[in-house]
Chain A
Amino acid sequence: MALILNEEQQLLKETADGFFADKAPVSQLRKLRDDKDETGYSKDLWQEMAEMGFAGLLVDEDNGGTGFGYVGAGVVAEAMGRTLAASPYLASAIVGASVVEAAGSDAQKAELLPAIASGETVVTLAIDETAHHGPEKTALKAEKAGGGYKLSGLKTFVPEGHVADKVIVLARTSGKAGERDGLSLFLVDRKASGLIVDRTVMTDSRNWAKMTFEGVAVGADALMGTEGKGMDALEGALDRARIVVAAELLGISQQCLDMTVQYLQERKQFGVLIGSFQGLQHRAAELFSEIEVSRSAVLKALQVADAGGNVGWFASLAKAKASKTAELATNEAIQMHGGIGMTDEFDIGFYIKRARVLQNLYGGFNYHADRFAALSGY
């Protein structure tokens, strides 16, 4: 397969770029923040996104989606990164849909996938329990009780966890924290009794949640996939989500470069445009190169994700590279804007904040560089 967007994907890209520039410019996120909006995104926007088919890119047509696949999902995520459009896209349409697809029973799929695709139901995934990503570190317990299970423990940083309708929880049914075996996935209603949800406002003005499970009782049919083998199903879905996160990071980097280049073409000091200074030209050119190289890693990983099978190596490559580049892009963007880059009035601040949150989500550079090395056999 050629490592470029095909015609259909190119068209989707143009549609998405236009849609988000028009419907969800950065000013929307700024307003949500200033209004201290408790949802953290515009429900109208999310509805419109669903109507555009963006909520169902990973859902097959029989279940009401478009089945566009991961390259398409990445293209839309990149467009969202460019304007910082806030929505449960990542939590629900990407992570939620891929985990349901990978681990769900037929009944769970029939119930959830159409509702995800229509935007009606927001599904999110709860994995991490500490400040550092690591699914295997899961300690939250699921004990057999009655005909079902009882969940006790803590989850943190659950994207959109404060508003999600359903939460997919990674829990330990046997073994101890650090072991890959013994983990299982459960589908839990956010309003279930014994589940305490605390909204957490993050640096990027988006909302995550801390979830305390105080003996939350679920039926046997809440189990997704095979008991004790949750990681086998989760890993592929999580890897695909990581690649889509990398695509959103790519959008952020590209937007930072574009804003910076524009500023270099306008701002004058010493009687000349600052873009004529070679010191700045070279920094911009280096950043351009890093972004192009990241773009290749992300597109390759998205294509491999669509092809099916194990994508771990590609996911870690894409997430590591896109994270490192986004760090560079956001830092350089502020520096090359000078004082104005530090002001809240100017938009760059929103980009650096969102970038750090996404860099950290599902494993940052070090996590994925380490995993990349391990998967490469060293």
Chain B
Amino acid sequence: MSDLEQFRQETRAWLEDNCPASMRKPAQGEADICWGGRRFEFQSEDQKLWLERMASRGWTVPTWPKEYGGGGLSKDENKILGEEMRRIKARSPLTSFGIWMLGPALLKFGTHEQKLEHLPKIARGEIRWCQGYSEPNAGSDLASLMTKAEDKGDYYLINGQKIWTSYADKADWIFCLVRTDFSATKHTGISFILFDMESEGVSTKPIKLISGYSPFCETFFDDVKADKKNLVGEVNKGWTIAKYLLTHERTGIGDMGLPTPLSAIARDKLGLEDGELADTMLRHQIAEHEIDAASFMFTIERAKDQAKAGGDMGAFSSMLKYYGTELNKDRHELILKVNGSEALEWEGQFSNNGEIARSWLRTKANSIEGGTTEVQLNIIAKRILELPA
């Protein structure tokens, strides 16, 4: 038996023994997702147990080095772990901005001390992070951000405002872009710094979305002191880190995983006649969507295999972000059509308080957050197709 085959056998056996039954079905919406953090309230004992067991093997972050709380798996082993988890429909034990965005950036740009300090806490789900990038006047044009950080010897003094900070009111720490040089050109005066959201001078104010939820905030910094050892990379060189992190964010937003196929939902709701969906117009629309969705799923697979073979993702992540988010918006429009007027109930037991409608509305942000569709298309045009400015 090859080493990989043996790894598969062992992984399969371990998952069988350790994944609680209630964790073997896809998360049904936001409430089922384990975000971790100081103040996280577990939905169930199983959710807690599943996190602890996976974290003990480093499998919340399978490819990170063991010394930083990871599983030390090769990309091939990681692929197998993913396959084996999907096989039993095991849900992800932990989801977080730390895993998805900050971790990769710290692994690449952080010092050994910074990695030792922050990565294991991400891996174990102890600290929940939020992203302090956007400001009221720095959205798509992120590099024009103005939050100020003054060098005060052993700390930076931070003043300014962020906006659209997802889960700022629930997060423990923030990774934040600040301006450390106001005389430099806009890309060269930015630094990347980490600090505790419980620091004096940090305050948040939730913003309500069209979905009725308030997952993000305005975030204010009023004379906040950030320890110098938490500045990542070199001072004034934060833009490189910011961009690197964005490629991870974009790939993550584009890759929606494997949601329940639209056709399965439609079969359920509309029924079949002679083996075909009873509504022929919708059947056509769904087939068209699923052809794109399946092709896109293989594109994610191809991109991962390319990266594994040493290829550079770079601007390709913009393509994945653009295509995946537009596809997801289309998917939810179709879910709405499949469910008819039932999808439009907003309150009540029957609809789980408008779950379908609220999820549909939430997807409208997919092509805005992490850089808009238009910005991704600009990046593809300039960086991949090399079209003139």
Taking beta carbons and an 8 Å cutoff, which residues of A are in contact with B?
2-4, 261, 264-265, 272-273, 275-276, 278, 280-282, 284-286, 288-289, 292-297, 299-300, 317, 320-321, 324, 369-370, 372-374, 376-378
Contacts and interface: CB of A to CB of B under 8 A. Distances in A.
B305 interface: yes
A320 B289 CA distance: 12
A374 B301 contact: no
A293 B326 CA distance: 13
A249 to B, nearest CB: 13
Contact of A278 (B277, B296, B378, B384): B378
Given A285-B377, A373-B263, A2 B387 contact: no
B276 interface: yes
Interface stretch (B99-107, B280-288, B355-363): B280-288
B287 A3 contact: no
A369 B266 CA distance: 16
A contact patch SS? helix
B25 interface: no
Contacts of A324: 291
A3 B301 contact: yes
Contacts of B381: 278, 281-282, 284-285
A317 B377 CA distance: 26
B contact patch SS? helix
A260 B308 CA distance: 31
A286 B308 CA distance: 26
A1 B57 CA distance: 27
16 contacts: A2-B305, A3-B301, A4-B302, A265-B387, A275-B387, A276-B389, A284-B381, A285-B322, A293-B292, A297-B298, A300-B302, A321-B291, A372-B291, A373-B283, A377-B267, A378-B263
Contact of A378 (B277, B298, B299, B385): B277
B29 interface: no
A289 B319 contact: yes
A377 B266 CA distance: 11
Contacts of B298: 3, 296-297, 299-300
Nearest to B382: A281
A264 B382 CA distance: 12
Contact of A284 (B295, B309, B385, B389): B385
Given A4-B305, A321-B292, A373-B290, 16 more contacts: A3-B298, A3-B301, A265-B388, A275-B388, A289-B380, A292-B299, A292-B316, A296-B296, A299-B298, A321-B291, A321-B295, A376-B263, A376-B287, A377-B263, A378-B272, A378-B283
A4 B294 CA distance: 17
Contacts of A281: 377-378, 381-382, 385, 387
A378 B387 contact: no
A296 B302 contact: yes
A377 B261 CA distance: 11
Interface-centre pick from B276, B277, B294, B301 (highest chain A CB count, 10 A): B294
A323 to B, nearest CB: 10
Contacts of A376: 261, 263, 287, 290
Contact of B286 (A4, A300, A378): A378
Contacts of A377: 263, 267, 275
A286 B377 contact: yes
> Which 10 residue pairs are nearest across A and B when measured between Cβ atoms?
A281-B381, A285-B380, A297-B295, A296-B298, A296-B299, A373-B287, A275-B387, A2-B305, A285-B377, A3-B302
A373 B267 contact: no
B216 interface: no
A261 B385 contact: yes
B295 A374 contact: no
A3 B301 CA distance: 7
A196 B308 CA distance: 56
Interface-centre pick from B283, B286, B294, B298 (highest chain A CB count, 10 A): B298
Given A296-B299, A378-B263, A273 B275 contact: no
A321 B290 CA distance: 10
A4 B316 CA distance: 15
B323 interface: yes
A282 B374 contact: yes
Contact of B385 (A285, A317, A370, A373): A285
A265 B107 CA distance: 38
